[in-house]
Structure 1
Amino acid sequence: MNKTIQHIFFIGLLFSSTAVFSQIKEEKLILDRKREPEVKKIEKKKTSIEAEKNYPPQEKSANPPTYDITNVPASSDFKTSLIQGEDISPKFDAEYQNNYFQLGMGNYGKILADGNISTKLENGMEAGGDVHFLSTSGLKKVYAWDSKQSTANIGAFLNSYGEKGKFSVNADYGLNDYNYYGIYALAPASNNVDLKQKTNRFKVNGYYDFYSNEILNDVRVKSSFLSDHFGAKENQAEILVNLSKHGVELPSFDDVNFNADLGLNLETVKSDFELLTKNSSQFLNATLAPKMTFFKGKSYLIIGSDFSFLNAKNSNMTLAEEVKNNKTYWFPKAELQFAAADEFKFYAGITGGLQLNTYADLLEQNPYLISDQELRATETKYKFYFGLRGDIDQNIKYDFSAGFGKMNDILFFKANNLFNVAAEYNRLPYDYANTFSSVYDNGTVSEAKASVQYFPLANLALDAELKFEKYNLENYENIYNKPLVKASLGGKYSILDKKLNLGAKAIFATDQTTNSFEVNHEAIDPNFRALENKNDKIGGFADLNLSAEYKVHKNLSIFALGNNLLNTQYQTYKGYKVLGAQILGGVKISF
């Protein structure tokens, strides 16, 4: 009886705690699985603790390398367009199985199919693949025109564990088929208007990690090929090489060790668009990143730099000739951590860097972009930060930090006006003031972050995050489509000997500013007149999501997901409302 009361109490605590917030910032489906290849889930950090499995004990036992396990989505994970919900079904490593297939159906015509399979081969090799499909019929009762969409991914990987290192290669194809349904300024001539957009992306990644940290540490190769419905094409390739010498003892300083690292990175991107001004850009970025780390216990000092050389070429129909730019950058890198105890670790540092903005990356943030984008590199000249983190009795983990930075070419999105001002109602899919373009400005950013994880029981985990970002720009009064505050609150609870897994997540965002257009037409004027509002507001939101999965048999589970349970059709971008309350149920077969 006491255990039953305890279970009921914690279920109530888990679900009621999330009711403070509701609604989700970017409605998306993220299948939070621990996937192979693990190469995309593990970032090597010599200051961390946990070691990767499958390493030969002879070479690793003396000086084992250490790893940070990060929540980087595996190559097969995907997110759909913004009218989707978030899959928050809890996953527990102890019960994890690689081989499974699950099928689900729900309201709004939702269909989910998801599977993964892997097998061990001879000579320490492992191969596998996975497939995912999600579709929805969209908001038929909200929009008279088509808002349906679907996403599919197919992936394959191969891992090889040799005597000197681990080799991984993976390939992934992703398809996103959706509509520019966010029409608010001008009604189409008919409900059968063509609003179609579709993107295809193929990625191939390779990785070799040497077991020893002597000189050549690891090598990574990445490539990506993207195309869309309107003829845009983008090719991206990157190679990263890490050289290192770790664990050097300094005789003049007791218990002080020294690491030396040198990172070499070469990245190239070529993007070509076929619409409107037909923007074309090509970037070649070479980065040299030396770093020295002095550490004693859990205290450390990192001193380093990034030296980048950027070769950029841009052209479009409005430019008389191709614009070329060659520039060299230097960015400071330093961090100091003083570990007074496990519970209190004070840290401060400075960082900077160059980020190439690609069409593929922009679509991940906003799929409703016009297929003609000006692409630039964002420069973080410097960012100072400080904070406090710690681990209290293995029950509470926290990290509080604040920072201030100076940036050039800060990326955000603005709404587009009509491209054709003639008073016509049969228009191209992107010509209803329903798309967005990248825009850049220089300025400063002030930010504060807080994250807390609480583990009151072995089978209960709670987490909360809060982020504040304030931009001051040189030319724009407001930064568009970025909320001032974002927050999340979630938890996972496992009961009945882990046969029943419960999950909850609430996401909150404050109001965000955007530009928008009001389109008018007078009978005596052959053209539309558009008035721009540069200070329009998209309301904040709170999104509540719950999930449950019950293991009927060791090879059979049933699950149910509830997304946006407050049933609020808020907007993520102007005109783009998300699905209301969604219930999806299904079965999962493990083998």
Structure 2
Amino acid sequence: MNRKIQFLSILFLGFSQFAFAQIKEEKLILNKKREPEVKKIEKKKTSVETIKNYPPEEKSQNPVKYTITDVPAVSDFKTSTIQGQDVTPKFEGTAQNNYLQFGMGNFGKILADANISKTLENKLEVGADFHFLSTLGLKKEYAWDSKQSSTAIGAYLNSYGEKGKFNLNAQYGLDNNRYYGIYALEPAADVDLKQRVNQFKVNGYYDFYSNEILNDVRVKSSFLKDHFDAQENQVSILANLSKHAVEIGKSGVNLNADLGVGLEAVKSEFAIRDKNSSNFFNTTLDPKVTFRKGDSYLMLGSTFSFLNAKNSSDLMGGEVKNNKTYWFPQAEFQFAAAKEFKFYGGVDGGLKLNTYGDLLQANPFIVSDQFLKPTETKYHFYAGLRGDIDETFKYDFSAGYGKINNIMFFQGNDLFDNTYTLNRSAYNFANTFSAVYDDGNVSDIKGSVQYFPLENLILDGEVKFTKYDLKNYKDIYNVPLFNASIGAKYTMLDKKLLLGFKGIFASDRTTNSFAVEGVANPGMVYQSTENRNDKVGGYADLNLSAEYKFHKNFSVFAIGNNLLNSNYQTYKGYKVLGAQILGGVKITF
């Protein structure tokens, strides 16, 4: 371990001469935004503030745009589960829609990625995406198969009209995973641990350039089916009505009025174990008004949800119906003493429908039979301070406290039967998880910073503490108290070389686990005991990247993940890949 620390210290010292460049957390599915951008037409000013460019115009003829987005500090970096965000480094301002990318690395990793688009004479853009990544898994750690792959194929259409922009996209995704996290039994090497998830999505989006009456309309749909015949259909429609920039007398105060109207329906059916089934239909109304003067504002609003829920399972022996109306407060203020110091605070809440698709994104090792309940954030108060100092340092720090009903988290499953045999289903080795719910309070402290010491250098960091006080459970399972990330991005050699760094950190997580003892006598059964206070260790995951452009249409890249070679686990039994190196080429046209 000391040698690793010495090696990294020397490596970081060398890179400090050139600074660093940010890479995103590893994701094998490219997270491309397919909503078209407004071109040459700007929308009227809303309650969302516009961030200035760095450096100021008097300092540079080519200002560099920067923003801080409100994203959780928790990284979904999972090197072995083919999840997270794309780590391929990106050159700012030089992105091209048409490209081909191919890479290979250790652990049998293969990356193939392509995007092709064409703009027609009537300002209609059509395009297609393809992405594939696979790994042979941890052959030295497990006797059984732990290989995984992820494939995404999509098509999209963008249209720019005189009054607004329109986007339509469709995507098919196929994830081949394995329930390889077996720690309590010793199955044969040829045991079948396969799980396959197919998902088809169709989304539509229309955005008017002005904020007059109808602002935008979004339609989303998803159709999911897995290896064990679980099925889930989901559709949502959201329309935003608004009237913005209404002047109130000569006070200098502007009024923005908004009304969001949403419909969401989810139907989930499972075919194994308890054969849970759920059907949710939720209608939401979000009225709000915002009073703004300069950078200071006050927003007042509410959220109303009207939920119709139906649940059934073999255990229930019938269908349980529930119709309920919810009200949630919505308010936020910001007092801008100066651009360097902006005090803000507020309260929010809402109802979130937990779907099987969402659960799989958070934990792909859940069993294909889940009891689904919505999570209700009754209220969440928060206050903070943010600002922009000399257009080189941007920060945002806040603290909050809330009350939540049906907090969703994951607990490990025991063996589903005690028969003394290893001839079991893929999910019946105490190697899967199920969603559990509890009411409680949550306290959080979070912060994010970005620093722009040079035009071609960006440094950033995020940190978050989250403490849960539950009603029934002593500890919340598989949720860290502390997580953080640091990153940097640096371009050099006339923007031909891009260097990147990303560090991801998390504290220990409490989990439950099982110890299984087999009884050798015929006719006997397995005996198991549950440990409700087990720990999954924290981790530090460090990553570096580099890309060099030999030509405007050709570049090579190299990405190093988990360079400390940490053998940590994402969930009990699921070790991640060790140190990984992936290299490849990219052709743009």
TM-score (ref. length: structure 2): 0.90
Q: Does 1:279 align with 2:276?
A: yes
Task: Report the AA paired with residue 92 of structure 1.
Answer: F
Q: Does 1:356 align with 2:360?
A: no
What corresponds to 2:224 in structure 1? 226
Task: Report the AA paired with residue 15 of structure 2.
Answer: I
Counterpart Cα distance in 1 of 2:50 and 2:155: 27
Whether contact under 8 Å (1:90, 1:492) holds in the other structure is no
What corresponds to 1:117 in structure 2? 116
What corresponds to 2:472 in structure 1? 475
Shift of 1:36: 3.3
Q: Secondary structure at the match of 2:540?
A: coil
Q: Secondary structure at the match of 1:362?
A: helix
Counterpart Cα distance in 2 of 1:120 and 1:282: 41
Task: Report the AA paired with residue 304 of structure 2.
Answer: F
Shift of 1:118: 1.0
What corresponds to 1:5 in structure 2? none
What corresponds to 1:288 in structure 2? 285
Structure 2 unaligned spans of 5+: 1-11, 52-65
What corresponds to 2:578 in structure 1? 580
Structure 1 unaligned spans of 5+: 1-7, 52-66
Whether contact under 8 Å (2:349, 2:380) holds in the other structure is yes
Shift of 1:169: 0.4
1:330-375 residue CA offsets vs partner (Å, 9 max, x unmatched) = 0000001000111000001000000000000000000001000000
Q: Does 1:259 align with 2:263?
A: no
Counterpart Cα distance in 1 of 2:354 and 2:49: 33
Shift of 1:393: 1.1
Counterpart Cα distance in 1 of 2:274 and 2:234: 22
Task: Report the AA paired with residue 471 of structure 2.
Answer: E
Shift of 1:135: 0.3
Shift of 1:202: 0.5
Of residues 273-282 and 160-169 in structure 1, the stretch that sits farther from structure 2 once superposed is 160-169
Counterpart Cα distance in 2 of 1:192 and 1:320: 37
Counterpart Cα distance in 1 of 2:256 and 2:357: 36
Task: Report the AA paired with residue 357 of structure 1.
Answer: N
Shift of 1:568: 1.2
Counterpart Cα distance in 2 of 1:89 and 1:138: 20
1:68-103 residue CA offsets vs partner (Å, 9 max, x unmatched) = 995899xxx998862678643332332211111110
Of residues 516-525 and 211-220 in structure 1, the stretch that sits farther from structure 2 once superposed is 516-525
Task: Report the AA paired with residue 152 of structure 1.
Answer: T
Q: Secondary structure at the match of 2:93?
A: helix
Q: Does 1:11 align with 2:15?
A: yes
What corresponds to 1:96 in structure 2? 95
Q: Secondary structure at the match of 1:94?
A: coil
1:40-85 residue CA offsets vs partner (Å, 9 max, x unmatched) = 9x9998223459xxxxxxxxxxxxxxx9995899xxx998862678
What corresponds to 2:368 in structure 1? 371
Shift of 1:320: 2.4
TM-score (ref. length: structure 1): 0.90
Task: Report the AA paired with residue 137 of structure 2.
Answer: G
Counterpart Cα distance in 1 of 2:355 and 2:293: 40
State how 1:411-430 maps to structure 2 within 5 Å: 411-430=408-427
Counterpart Cα distance in 1 of 2:176 and 2:79: 9
What corresponds to 1:383 in structure 2? 380
Counterpart Cα distance in 1 of 2:78 and 2:241: 34
What corresponds to 2:153 in structure 1? 154
Whether contact under 8 Å (1:404, 1:446) holds in the other structure is yes
1:456-502 residue CA offsets vs partner (Å, 9 max, x unmatched) = 11111010000000000000000000000000000110001110001
1:203-249 residue CA offsets vs partner (Å, 9 max, x unmatched) = 00001111221111111110000000000000000000111111111
> Which of the numbers 210, 213, 216 marks the counterpart of 2:214?
216
Q: Secondary structure at the match of 1:363?
A: helix
Counterpart Cα distance in 2 of 1:575 and 1:101: 36
Q: Secondary structure at the match of 2:414?
A: coil
Shift of 1:29: 3.6
Q: Secondary structure at the match of 1:300?
A: strand
Distance 1:282 1:13, change over 3 A: farther
> Which of the numbers 581, 587, 590 marks the counterpart of 2:588?
590
1:374-395 residue CA offsets vs partner (Å, 9 max, x unmatched) = 0000000000000000011111
Q: Secondary structure at the match of 1:360?
A: helix
Whether contact under 8 Å (1:37, 1:158) holds in the other structure is no
Counterpart Cα distance in 2 of 1:410 and 1:148: 32
Identity rate of aligned residues, in percent?
65
State how 1:161-172 maps to structure 2 within 5 Å: 161-172=160-171
Counterpart Cα distance in 2 of 1:217 and 1:16: 40
Distance 1:288 1:178, change over 3 A: same
Distance 1:345 1:85, change over 3 A: closer
Whether contact under 8 Å (2:96, 2:588) holds in the other structure is yes
Task: Report the AA paired with residue 144 of structure 2.
Answer: W
1:507-565 residue CA offsets vs partner (Å, 9 max, x unmatched) = 00000000000001223461101100000000000000000000011111000000000
Whether contact under 8 Å (2:243, 2:257) holds in the other structure is yes
Q: Does 1:330 align with 2:327?
A: yes
Of residues 229-238 and 209-218 in structure 1, the stretch that sits farther from structure 2 once superposed is 209-218
Shift of 1:310: 0.4
Counterpart Cα distance in 2 of 1:435 and 1:574: 9
Whether contact under 8 Å (2:21, 2:457) holds in the other structure is no
Distance 1:467 1:199, change over 3 A: same
Task: Report the AA paired with residue 224 of structure 1.
Answer: S
What corresponds to 1:54 in structure 2? none
Whether contact under 8 Å (1:556, 1:588) holds in the other structure is yes
Counterpart Cα distance in 2 of 1:533 and 1:514: 8
Counterpart Cα distance in 1 of 2:83 and 2:208: 40
Counterpart Cα distance in 2 of 1:369 and 1:44: 45
Task: Report the AA paired with residue 498 of structure 2.
Answer: N
> Which of the numbers 501, 505, 516 marks the counterpart of 1:504?
501
Task: Report the AA paired with residue 462 of structure 1.
Answer: L
What corresponds to 2:34 in structure 1? 36
Distance 1:302 1:68, change over 3 A: farther
1:143-165 residue CA offsets vs partner (Å, 9 max, x unmatched) = 00000000000111101111111
Q: Secondary structure at the match of 2:469?
A: strand
1:165-187 residue CA offsets vs partner (Å, 9 max, x unmatched) = 11110001111001100000111
Task: Report the AA paired with residue 201 of structure 1.
Answer: Q
Q: Does 1:48 align with 2:61?
A: no
Task: Report the AA paired with residue 546 of structure 1.
Answer: L
What corresponds to 2:540 in structure 1? 542
Shift of 1:128: 0.8
Counterpart Cα distance in 2 of 1:282 and 1:43: 39
What corresponds to 2:190 in structure 1? 192
Counterpart Cα distance in 1 of 2:575 and 2:275: 30
Counterpart Cα distance in 2 of 1:354 and 1:71: 20
Counterpart Cα distance in 1 of 2:468 and 2:433: 20
Distance 1:397 1:255, change over 3 A: same
Shift of 1:263: 0.4
Q: How many residues align?
A: 557
Counterpart Cα distance in 1 of 2:343 and 2:560: 40
What corresponds to 1:4 in structure 2? none
Counterpart Cα distance in 2 of 1:17 and 1:130: 26
Q: Does 1:129 align with 2:133?
A: no
Whether contact under 8 Å (1:549, 1:560) holds in the other structure is yes
Shift of 1:425: 1.1
Q: Does 1:138 align with 2:137?
A: yes
Task: Report the AA paired with residue 236 of structure 2.
Answer: E
> Which of the numbers 204, 207, 210 marks the counterpart of 1:206?
204
Counterpart Cα distance in 2 of 1:560 and 1:356: 40
Task: Report the AA paired with residue 16 of structure 2.
Answer: G
Q: Secondary structure at the match of 1:93?
A: coil
